[in-house]
């Protein structure tokens, strides 16, 4: 067991929303510790979509997931947040005016306020009805490194944003790309579906993968058309199952939080039903909630500034106009980044 740690604010979840929260906590002078079950910061973006372009972050027409995480880390870096990675926060206990958080590996953290930004909790890929035993032998559930797909015959299964985005990302570099979806209509964004239709990717709808064969790696898949009942074997040495994920809030369910449909209920300040515990991002639910990364950034800024008021009664939640009076650390980091950019 490591020595106990302490901070003003503990952020449970080191995804993009949590990282932006660490920045704003630093702006308000709060020390911060971030805890995440993954071994690197960035949450699902780093784990599953590091090379995928993200189009709905203000100010960036498009930015790769990995680059967004790097920028967020750099933004928070002047305030020296502490990262506790590869550890799951399992217990939350209140003692007097502080909280104690314990991780599964025995790390103990004391804090005065808590901010939960853990995305959707832990996530497990939904398995394919056929061929799941090929996982690691040509079958994958996400695409962290597109270089592995160069010159390959790729089959993507699914009809959501991830499936279509991976088709768009892989089609220029793969030998062939086929997408198989069990319905006619795609759940993905309409513009992305339109873009996919303008590529060389083969689109097969009303169909599913009924069999996979190859030894030891995937070599071809059988596509079963559910309308005509026809079956076709097509070449495939990389199979991507983008069928979504099942989510589990895990230990958070035992923390006494008000939960609605696997989400934490908050008010407009980001506060939960527990004093001093706030939440932001996809893990949050309230009337009118829209689960977008842009929404999470706004929520976490609100939550952190209201956590500041919780810790400093009588102070304002408004941090001031940072463009007019930015913290010295932010100025120094910006100047260093500018100098580096000019030099390069």
pLDDT in tens, 307-331: 999 999 999 999 987 766 666 655 5
Alpha carbon separation from 251 to 117, 277, 312 (Å, rounded): 14, 15, 29
Phi, psi for residue 245 in degrees, rounded to 5: -140, 150
User: What does the DSSP 8-state code read for residue 128?
Assistant: P
Classified as helix, coil or strand, 92 is strand
Q: What is the pLDDT of residue 203?
A: 97
Q: Percent of the chain scored above 90 by pLDDT?
A: 67
Spatial CA neighbour of 89 closest among 107, 76, 75: 107
Spatial CA neighbour of 117 closest among 49, 41, 31: 41
pLDDT of 219 over the 70 cut: yes
- Hunting for tokens 């064969």 — which residue is that? 213
Rounded average pLDDT over 61-87: 94
36-69 residue pLDDT tens: 988 889 988 887 778 788 888 999 999 999 999 9
Rounded average pLDDT over 258-262: 89
Sequence-ordered alpha helix ranges (H) in the chain: 16-27, 43-48, 65-76, 161-170, 190-197, 293-311, 328-343
pLDDT of 230 over the 70 cut: yes
Quick one: tokens of 73? 């880390």
Quick one: tokens of 323? 């463009």
Rounded average pLDDT over 203-219: 96
177-197 residue pLDDT tens: 999 999 999 998 899 999 999
Q: What is the pLDDT of residue 131?
A: 87
Q: Write down the CATH number for the domain with range 5-123+246-343.
A: 3.50.50.60
pLDDT band with cut points at 50, 70 and 90 for residue 243: confident
- Hunting for tokens 């980091």 — which residue is that? 333
Q: What is the pLDDT of residue 342?
A: 47
Q: Does domain 127-243 have CATH number 3.50.50.60?
A: yes
Most confident of 32-41, 67-76, 160-169: 67-76
How do beta strands 98-103 and 277-279 pair?
unpaired
Cβ atoms of 186 and 166 within 8 Å: the answer is no
Q: What is the pLDDT of residue 123?
A: 62
Alpha carbon separation from 147 to 152, 158, 169, 199, 267 (Å, rounded): 10, 21, 11, 19, 44
pLDDT of 250 over the 70 cut: yes
Quick one: tokens of 211? 């069999």
d(CA 127, CA 133): 10
pLDDT of 286 over the 60 cut: yes
pLDDT band with cut points at 50, 70 and 90 for residue 305: very high
Q: What is the DSSP string of 174-209?
A: SSEEEEE-SSSS--S-HHHHHHHHTSS-EEE-SEEE
d(CA 157, CA 6): 45
Round the average pLDDT of the chain to a whole number and report it: 89
User: What does the DSSP 8-state code read for residue 318?
Assistant: -
Q: What is the pLDDT of residue 39?
A: 85
Quick one: tokens of 53? 């372009």
Q: What is the pLDDT of residue 341?
A: 44
pLDDT of 122 over the 80 cut: no
Specify the higher pLDDT residue, 173 or 126.
173
Domain with CATH 3.50.50.60 in the chain: 5-123+246-343, 127-243
pLDDT of 344 over the 60 cut: no
Name 283's bridge partners: none
Specify the higher pLDDT residue, 280 or 342.
280
Give the range among 15-24, 212-221, 236-245 with minimum mean pLDDT.
236-245
The answer to whether the peptide bond before residue 99 is cis (omega within 30 degrees of 0) is no
Q: What is the pLDDT of residue 69?
A: 95
């Amino acid at each position: 067991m490591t020595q106990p740690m302490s901070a003003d604010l503990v952020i449970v979840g080191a995804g993009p929303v949590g990282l932006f929260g660490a920045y704003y906590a630093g702006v308000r002078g709060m020390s911060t510790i971030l805890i995440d079950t993954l071994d690197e910061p960035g949450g699902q973006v780093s784990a599953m979509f590091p090379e995928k372009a993200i189009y709905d972050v203000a100010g960036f027409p498009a930015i790769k997931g990995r680059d967004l995480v790097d920028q967020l880390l750099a933004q928070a870096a002047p305030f020296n947040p502490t990262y506790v990675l590869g550890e799951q926060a399992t217990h939350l206990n209140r003692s007097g005016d502080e909280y104690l958080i314990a991780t599964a590996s025995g790390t103990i953290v004391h804090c005065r306020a808590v901010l939960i930004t853990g995305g959707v909790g832990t996530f497990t890929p939904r398995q394919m009805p056929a061929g799941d035993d090929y996982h690691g032998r040509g079958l994958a559930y996400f695409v962290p490194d597109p270089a592995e797909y160069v010159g390959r015959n790729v089959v993507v299964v699914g009809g959501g944003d991830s499936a279509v985005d991976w088709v768009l990302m892989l089609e220029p570099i793969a030998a062939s790309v086929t997408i198989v979806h069990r319905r006619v209509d795609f759940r993905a964004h309409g513009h992305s579906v339109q873009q996919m239709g303008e590529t060389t990717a083969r689109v097969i709808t009303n169909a599913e993968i009924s069999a996979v064969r190859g030894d030891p790696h995937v070599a071809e898949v059988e596509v079963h058309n559910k309308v005509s009942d026809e079956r076709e074997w097509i070449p495939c040495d990389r199979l991507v199952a983008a069928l979504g994920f099942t989510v589990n809030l895990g230990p958070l369910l035992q923390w006494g939080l008000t939960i609605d449909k696997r989400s934490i209920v908050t008010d407009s300040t980001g506060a939960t039903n527990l004093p001093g515990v706030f939440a932001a991002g996809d893990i949050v639910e309230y009337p009118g909630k829209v689960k977008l990364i842009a929404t999470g950034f706004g929520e976490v800024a609100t939550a952190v500034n209201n956590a500041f008021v919780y810790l400093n009664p009588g102070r304002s939640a408004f941090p001031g106009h940072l463009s007019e009076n930015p913290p010295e650390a932010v100025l120094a980091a910006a100047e260093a980044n500018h100098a580096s950019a000019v030099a390069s």
